[in-house]
Amino acid sequence: MAIISPAKAASEPTNRKDHEFEGGISLFLSGEHRELLAGIMLPKRVKSGTYLLWEGEDAQNLYYIRSGRVKLRKTTEEGKDLILSLMQKGDLIGEMAHGGNVTYSFSAEVIEDAEVGVLPWKDLERLLAANGSLAFPFMNWLGHMNRVTQSKIRDLLLFGKQGALASTLIRLGNSFGIPCKDGIVLDIKLTNTEIADMIGTARESVNRMLSAYKDEGVIDIREGRIVILRLESLRKICNCSACPLEICRM
């Protein structure tokens, strides 16, 4: 797992824009590729609390995030919600619908006012067929997202609840962290219930573990935001394997 290093000289969190994470498919697109995609994108502004798509709906569109944040959520047969990812600028959301009727396997809730580019799958399919060079970034992106998913599954399954929570905190720090004087403050407010939904456990378990981390000086809670104080302690808990930053993300 990659770790961002706190700027020890800073006494307060720096401007978020200077440290904004941008990953997803944007890592693989050249300027020419971006122009090609922009040509078929339909711009859309979406308010916080709105859903871009619902689990089970026909997968007709993909959504490129230009700004804002989106939570991907899956509901189990028992009615329990699992938070799969927190997506942001540069990410592409949706299902590759080639070859028949495909439905979305998750719901996507906007949690911060967003600007997105809507990519109708049929238009994208024609664009990929006409521009072979654009197909390679999509292949690389699919492989990349598979690695992200595999690394999450590894951390959630192999090292117990403690390891899953430590891994999730590190990923949150990489994706939403801002260096401050004594560590990394997460530029996102999350309830303990939401964190529990990220690691598939009960809120009460997360309450106990976070309280223990706070007592041990590993984290702190300030104005509703988690501050990571001792990254090395979290790394030891989840047997951190020093994944690249673009893989160790939410």
Coil, helix or strand for 49? coil
Residuewise pLDDT in 10s, the chain (250 residues) = 444 433 333 334 334 443 445 668 988 999 999 999 999 999 999 999 999 999 999 999 999 999 999 999 999 888 889 999 999 999 999 998 766 689 999 999 999 999 999 999 999 999 999 998 999 999 999 999 999 999 999 888 888 999 999 999 999 999 999 999 999 999 999 999 999 999 999 999 999 999 999 999 999 999 999 999 999 999 999 988 778 888 999 9
Render pLDDT for 67-114 as a digit per residue (tens, 0 to 9).
Answer: 999 999 999 888 889 999 999 999 999 998 766 689 999 999 999 999
At a CB cut-off of 8 Å and minimum separation 6, what does 200 contact? 82, 156, 164
CATH of 149-247, one of 1.10.10.10, 3.40.50.2300, 1.20.140.10, 1.10.240.10: 1.10.10.10
> Residue 82 corresponds to which tokens in the numbers above?
């699992």
What is the Cα–Cα distance from 229 to 199, expressed in whole angstroms?
Answer: 21
- What type of residue sits at position 78? E
| Fold classification of 26-130 (topology level) | Jelly Rolls (2.60.120)
Query: Hey, where are the domains in the chain?
Result: 26-130, 149-247
pLDDT score, position 101:
81
* Percentages of the chain per state (helix, strand, coil), in multiples of 5: 40, 25, 35
pLDDT score, position 242:
77
pLDDT score, position 99:
60
